[in-house]
Structure 1
């Protein structure tokens, strides 16, 4: 199953950080394995959030070898030459949480426009191959100007629409992307419950059921973990934090958001592999 994390407005609504938090929490709470990748190049990517940055220049030659022989570049080349398999996908991925998460790192060597063009050429077989690795593929999906985004949004079983507490952004989504609402759930990123545009008021204004919308509160410790590459460690450490803990509210709401997506996936045309989502 493909789950596209997407926003109608780029750079404001926490698409990448929300995907990182949700996918990790699903693995920790539900033992729900997944494959992660981006269909675009950007600095604040999943790799930066999942891996602590090494000192500049350390193992530079080995890094270049990795991105030339593994990662999404390698898979694109193999698909073009019809030499890809489940094994090549696994070898091209980074493994986290005991194979709970496979992340296919984005290009560090390829030109941005060329990468987007090359991925778009193979996006259908690429997504099909990922289905052999895990029941769920989470995609950090760029805005609609990206070549493969239209295909991904059309093919996705679920679109996680990342919004904010800015009513203009929400209005823009419903005015321009109503075709996505039938398979959408909503996340309010960097959420502040003290705003007058809180979850309850947004639900009422836009007639969104409580089963379709959740929040990811702003949390400075989570933000710091994203920047330092300690996101998995932060969520592992705080997964079972108590009510008195300063991160309790954030963790509670992130779990609610993950559970919303988990339940929705379990309702969507389950195949034998997907029935595990209902367990």
Structure 2
């Protein structure tokens, strides 16, 4: 239903961990089917951030001699299906791994060693996510940084919203606002700024950035040490569930509040009513 691409002028922006945090909030707070995917080759950072939650045995095609024949080989498997001309029905869903049953799946990144070969498949990759949108309400895509990726250009063009991930780095800020490292397909897209790993004590805090560059206000994912440790431990989902009801004085409150705000706004941006899709308090407590 809605495809949201996350992109940054340069790598190392905190883009991937921000996607992980927002995906955890979406799957915990809303009645939606969400897919997350990283379109870089041999890059498993997003998958690793949920490694404690991923159920590798969830996609079962049948039983042979008492053992399971499991699907779940990610983007490479779906690319093979697409090349065979059989990309239909549950081809994407059947090759994902479950993070939150019925709410959050991940399509593993490619094991292709040659980045050029993966880039050459950009049209097929775009078709894969077009097909996925027939099942998933929300697709969050972690795109390669900069303007050198054809995959980024194609998926930016096909996305409903592009989230621009900007750390508190003068280099990245200038690159974005001065349109350096700028994919041409960004020019006609609806964009949302997301200030990643945000430190409110920095001179480059969000309010100063928007004033300096005369830009609209953006969303924030604050820097949070406990969250970063959880990502490294593969327990992003566990961190969110443990902290989603944190009280105002709790050290993780600001982080969770801003991530929830970002998740809500992004749903609204793609036309999903965040109020009607909200899980009620009793069900959230039981999940």
**2:172 equivalent to 1:169:** yes
Q: How does 1:202-217 map to 2 (within 5 A)?
A: 202-210=209-217, 213-217=218-222
Structure 1 residue 2: deviation in Å? 1.5
Contact 2:93 2:132 in 1 (8 A): no
| Alignment correspondent of 2:118 | 116
Instruction: Determine the C-alpha separation between the residues in 2 that align with 1:86 and 1:41.
Output: 25
Residue deviations 1:71-94 (CA, integer Å, cap 9, x gap): 111100000001222322222001
Contact 2:96 2:108 in 1 (8 A): yes
| Alignment correspondent of 1:197 | 204
| Alignment correspondent of 1:58 | none
Instruction: Determine the C-alpha separation between the residues in 2 that align with 1:239 and 1:101.
Output: 17
Contact 1:32 1:277 in 2 (8 A): no
| Alignment correspondent of 2:101 | 98
Q: How does 1:62-73 map to 2 (within 5 A)?
A: 70-73=73-76
Instruction: Determine the C-alpha separation between the residues in 1 that align with 2:70 and 2:151.
Output: 24
Contact 1:39 1:148 in 2 (8 A): yes
**2:187 equivalent to 1:185:** no
Instruction: Determine the C-alpha separation between the residues in 1 that align with 2:119 and 2:171.
Output: 31
| Alignment correspondent of 1:57 | none
| Alignment correspondent of 1:10 | 11
More helix by share: 1
Contact 1:188 1:216 in 2 (8 A): yes
Instruction: Determine the C-alpha separation between the residues in 1 that align with 2:136 and 2:53.
Output: 27
**2:223 equivalent to 1:242:** no
**2:23 equivalent to 1:20:** no
TM-score by length of 1: 0.83
Gaps of 5+ in 2: 55-68, 277-287
SS state of the match for residue 153, structure 2?
helix
Paired positions, count: 256
SS state of the match for residue 37, structure 2?
strand
Residue deviations 1:228-256 (CA, integer Å, cap 9, x gap): 11000110111111122221111112112
Instruction: Determine the C-alpha separation between the residues in 2 that align with 1:246 and 1:113.
Output: 41
Gaps of 5+ in 1: 55-64, 267-273
CA 1:41–1:178: 2 relative to 1, 3 Å: closer
**2:261 equivalent to 1:256:** yes
Instruction: Determine the C-alpha separation between the residues in 1 that align with 2:97 and 2:44.
Output: 17
